[in-house]
Structure 1
Amino acid sequence: MPLSATRTKHRFMVEYSVNASPKILYPYLASPSGLAQWFCQEVRLEENQRYNFIWDNQSHFAELNSHRTNRSVRFVFLDQEKRSMPDANYLDFTIEESQLTQEVFLRVLDYSDETDDIELQEMWDGLVQQLRELVGG
């Protein structure tokens, strides 16, 4: 059977309890300075509200596709010419608070070419641990 030329994307979702209020947590998910403290080497906000995420000294451009203050943020990644792509990779961060227990959860939805769930789990575990240390929880 011939291999398909198109790669299918993988939807990876994980949820973490975080001992911080949504108001404290949200700036670490939505602002360049907050993201740079735990998520990647550096984040620059460029013209047209485009974010430049820098990992291993390489730029990865994304648009802030949607956000709800203190609730959620979604970054949709662009091509190297900073243009939208069909079926683009995206990252979605959602903050949920249990009305019953007052516990705060961070849900991460990573939609990308990476298909190794174990590797993704380890990567996000490490990143969110850094985030927890920053917010005190």
Structure 2
Amino acid sequence: MSKVKFELEFPIHASPSMLYTYLATPAGLEEWFADRVNSRGKQIIFMWDDSEEEAKIVASKADERIKFKWVESDGDESYFEFRIQVDPLTKDVVVIVTDFADNEEDAEEAKRLWENQIEELKHTIGA
């Protein structure tokens, strides 16, 4: 079954290097994304209350992007990615979240979840 891909853009007033720390390190991700985060190399375990999800880092470039693939979705093309873009003229920083959902209805729910999560990130870093 094909998944629905979506992207969301969020302007954030922070430097790319600081943002990358919050998007790509276990300590940073624990601040806003999951209750606990453990990593062993490219294997990442995200923990929330009573649930645990494992992902692997499939691509990363410091201060620019990190792409995760959920282990449970190994048989499909889905992933989630954080990209940091800086406008060359205004120097405005934007985080672009790319994710997948099973259908349009799930995509709308996932978008709302990402909006809440990124608001938490902004609050955490004071942006």
Scaled by the length of structure 1, the TM-score of the pair is 0.84
Provide the secondary structure at the position in 1 that maps to 2:29: helix
1:95-136: CA deviation from partner (whole Å, max 9, x where unpaired): 000011110000000124364233122111110011011222
Distance 1:29 1:68, change over 3 A: same
RMSD: 1.7
Of residues 84, 87, 94, the one that matches 1:95 is: 84
90-99 or 52-61, which deviates more: 52-61
Larger Rg: 1
Find runs of 4+ consecutive structure 1 residues off by over 3 angstroms: none
* 2:58 corresponding residue in structure 1: 65
> 2: distance between equivalents of 1:41 and 1:89?
23
Distance 1:136 1:114, change over 3 A: farther
Scaled by the length of structure 2, the TM-score of the pair is 0.90
Query: Unpaired segments of 5 or more residues in structure 1?
Result: 1-6
Query: Unpaired segments of 5 or more residues in structure 2?
Result: none
Q: Percent identity?
A: 29
> 1: distance between equivalents of 2:99 and 2:42?
21
Distance 1:70 1:133, change over 3 A: same
